Structure 1
């Protein structure tokens, strides 16, 4: 199966397959999807983290319409910090990603009219194969000690940063171990500051981008609530 964009992977994990409704923090998902677009560009060697900013080092399109639009804007604009980029990109990004998924038959748009005139949209799964592949990759990363590929390591890091771990739908007795493993993956990839970037399991250039985006998301979300 052809891989899909990281932003699409986050969205599919966050939306309930049957109800078609988003679960968890909406702002966390939006910030995570913004970061995911930038991570895809970093994985493709198009952007890098230089002197506190994300800069374009290759303006060649990667073939994804949303990522390519962001790349073109970044190439024509002045450099911005990771924190500035995730805030700039998150507005209307979710709707654009949903429309792309609808057009490709991955999710359905269920338009329900309430009170005679209020339209409420749900997006249940139409083709479960895409999400199944995502969850299979994550499950393999969680149950083995082998380092995952760059893309899966980045996805694991974004799940932690956005506090989307409940989207894994694990029973309580497994959730804590999964959290530890996700953090271990992030640390081993050099995304969390506890491992030297040069010792990262991914390319240092990618590790720098993901690490700074993860910190930007966590700063935007603030301290997690405690009971």
Structure 2
């Protein structure tokens, strides 16, 4: 199956298949999706982190409409910090991603009217194959001993950074172990910043982008609430 953007992967994990409603932190999801667009651009060799800013190093379009819109704006604009980019991108990004998924028949837009005049949109899944593939990759990453590929490692790291582990829908007794494994994946990939980026199992330039975005997400979300 053709891979889909990381932002779409995060959204599909966060939305309930049957109710079509988002679960978990909305701000966490929006920040994570914004970061995911930038990570995809880093994976494609289009942006890199340098001197405190995310900068375009190759303006060639990637073929993904959302990522290419961001790439074009970044190429024409002054450099911004990772935190600035997250805030600039997160507004209306979810709507754009949902529109694309609806257009491709992955989810459907169910428009309901409540209290006679309030419109509420739900997005139940119509093609479960994409999410099934995402969950298969994550399950293999969580149970395997070897390092996963760059994209899956990035997705796992975004789940930790945005505190979206509940989207994995694991039994309570497995949640803590899954969190530890996700952090282990992030560390092994060099995404946590706790290892020398030259020893990263993914490209150092990608690891640096993911690390700085992870820090920006944590700063935006603030300290986690006590359990």
- Normalization by structure 1: what TM-score? 0.99
Residue of structure 1 equivalent to 2:22: 22
Question: How many Å apart are 1:40 and its aligned residue?
Answer: 0.3
- Residue correspondence of structure 1 range 65-214 to structure 2 within 5 A: 65-214=65-214
Over residues 73-113 of structure 1, what are the superposed CA-to-partner deviations in whole Å (9 max), with x where a residue is unaligned? Answer: 00000000000000000000000000000000000000011
Any idea what the Cα deviations from partners look like across 1:112-159, whole Å, max 9, x if unmatched? 111111100000001000000000000000001110000000000000
Q: CA RMSD in A?
A: 0.5
Aligned length: 227
Runs of 4+ in 1 over 6 A off after TM superposition: none
Counterpart of 1:218?
A: 218
For residues 164-189 of structure 1, the C-alpha deviation after alignment (integer angstroms, 9 at most, x for no partner) is 00000000111111000000000111
SS for the counterpart of 1:45 is: coil
**Structure 1: distance between partners of 2:58 and 2:221:** 31
SS of equivalent residue, structure 1 residue 126: coil
Distance (Å, rounded) in 2 between the aligned partners of 1:101 and 1:221: 27
Q: Deviations over 1:12-69 (max 9, x none)?
A: 0000000000000000000000000000000000000000000000000000000000
TM-score by length of 2: 0.99
Indicate the SS of the match to 1:113: strand
In the other structure, the counterpart of 2:9 is 9
User: What is the SS of the residue equivalent to 1:55?
Assistant: strand
Distance 1:71 1:141 in 2: 30
Unaligned runs of 5+ in 2: none
Post-superposition shift, 1:193?
Answer: 1.6
Shift of 1:195: 1.0
